[in-house]
């Protein structure tokens, strides 16, 4: 294989860049692992918070009991029923809004959770990939030296 002088310089520049990246990888992989693990944990906490808000039915039941009170006073059954229905409607509407916001919160929590999980998986899968790449760089550098010596002759 024959390479021109400029092609050898380009290859040398790219190999040097990859070797610098490989020298930083041992520290960088730990930083990436920590950062994306924290993102995954924050996303999980946001999801759990949204689930807790959805599952809070006990507070709604207490509000319903308070709205209904002890029962209608004599002679005002129709007005009491209408008032109780209005109060219950307001409580159910507030509950619906709370559940909707909690679902949005959970959806927002899935984004950092899934992206963190994906990146942690990628970092772990590539944990020792630097050994292979370092060997390839070493072989390419040796081949470039041979080509430079052949071009000098």
Residue (of 43, 55, 49, 63) closest to 120 by Cα position: 43
pLDDT at 99: 86
Domain that holds residue 129: 5-152
Q: 28-87 pLDDT, tens per residue?
A: 999 999 999 999 999 999 999 888 877 777 677 777 777 777 777 788 778 878 888 888
DSSP state of 10: H
The pLDDT score that the predictor gives to residue 74 is 80
List Cβ neighbours of 149 (8 Å cut-off, separation of 6 or more): none
Tokens of 5: 């002088």
pTM: 0.66
Quote the DSSP letter at residue 55. T
Transcribe 129-141 into DSSP letters. Answer: HHHHHHHHHHHHH
Number of domains in the chain: 1
pLDDT in tens, 97-124: 888 998 899 999 999 999 999 999 999 9
């Amino acid at each position: 294989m024959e390479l021109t002088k400029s092609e050898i310089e380009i290859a040398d520049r790219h190999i040097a860049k990859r070797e610098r990246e490989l020298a930083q990888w041992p520290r960088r992989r730990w930083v990436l692992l920590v950062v994306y693990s924290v993102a995954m944990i924050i996303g999980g906490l946001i999801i759990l918070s949204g689930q807790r808000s959805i599952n809070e039915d006990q507070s709604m039941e207490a509000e319903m009991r308070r709205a209904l009170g002890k029962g209608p006073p004599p002679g005002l059954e129709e007005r009491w029923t209408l008032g109780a229905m209005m109060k219950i409607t307001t409580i159910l509407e507030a509950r619906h809004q709370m559940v909707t916001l909690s679902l949005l919160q959970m959806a927002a929590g899935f984004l950092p959770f899934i992206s963190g999980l994906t990146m942690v998986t990628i970092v772990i899968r590539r944990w020792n990939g630097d050994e292979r790449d370092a060997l390839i760089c070493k072989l390419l550098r040796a081949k470039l030296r041979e080509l430079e010596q052949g071009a000098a002759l």
